[in-house]
Amino acid sequence: MSIGIDMKEVLAEIGISVLNRRTLDSGEFIDYEPNAQVTKPFIREFFLEGALSYDTEQIVGDIINFTVLDRDYILMSLTPESLENEPYLYGGVYYRCNVSGEIQRPSGEADWDEDYRKTTLFEPVETNVYALQTEPLFGTDLDTQSQIGDIVIESDELYIPSSYGIKVKDRYQSSSGEYYIVDTVLKRRFSGVDVCKVSEDTR
């Protein structure tokens, strides 16, 4: 479609180049802007909206590195803009990743620590795992969010690509050294992105 090709050329001129960590492709361009709900600090800090070309290779759940911003984002949704039943542009919603780390799974074996307490042994399942970790967003007033960079240990939500295959009882070890146990995995809130309830892992 000629209008789609024209829009792709416009995006190449006005947009920024991004890296898709799934395909390792850096040839796509996005015209992005902060979310319009600027009165909510969390949304202003962590959400972006972007325009993508009609033939984008991005899929929901991809981790996209915005090289100009030096930040990684999860693609949460894609909505086509169509003309005569043919998409000529896609609108994307992105959540900024604020943690990276490793998914570990109990190996089925155990060990004993120096205090003679039984400890669970884990094996890595996925490395270089990017996600958004935050206090629960649904059913709360986002205006009350403060010190967004802090991690609340008691009960957080982890927005993580479904492609990682995270499961209940898995451990998420962030690169900063904290350990979290996956208490619940919600697979129906977003297509392609799992929402996990996590808490401090003391196993």
Question: For all residues of the chain together, what is the average pLDDT?
Answer: 86
- Checking if the pLDDT of 141 tops 50, the result is no
Q: What is the pLDDT of residue 109?
A: 80
Structural domain harbouring 152: 99-200
pLDDT in tens, 40-64: 667 777 899 999 999 999 999 999 9
Asked if 21 and 55 sit in the same domain, the reply is yes
Let me know the angle formed at the C-alpha of 70 by 68 and 73, rounded to the nearest 5 degrees: 100
Asked if 106 and 190 sit in the same domain, the reply is yes
Q: What is the pLDDT of residue 111?
A: 75
How far separated are the first and last CA of the chain, in Å rounded?
56
- Beta carbons within 8 Å of 82's beta carbon, 6+ residues apart: 88
Going from the C-alpha of 47 to that of each of 36, 78, 103, the distances in angstroms are 9, 14, 24
- Checking if the pLDDT of 172 tops 60, the result is yes
d(CA 198, CA 201): 9
Q: What is the CATH number of the domain that holds 106?
A: 2.40.10.270
- Beta carbons within 8 Å of 129's beta carbon, 6+ residues apart: 100, 101, 102, 103, 160, 164, 172
Asked if 82 and 120 sit in the same domain, the reply is no
Cα 196 to chain centroid, rounded: 12
Q: Provide the domain count of the chain.
A: 2
Q: Structure pTM? A: 0.82
CB 104 within 8 A of CB 37: no
Asked if 50 and 103 sit in the same domain, the reply is no
Asked if 122 and 190 sit in the same domain, the reply is yes
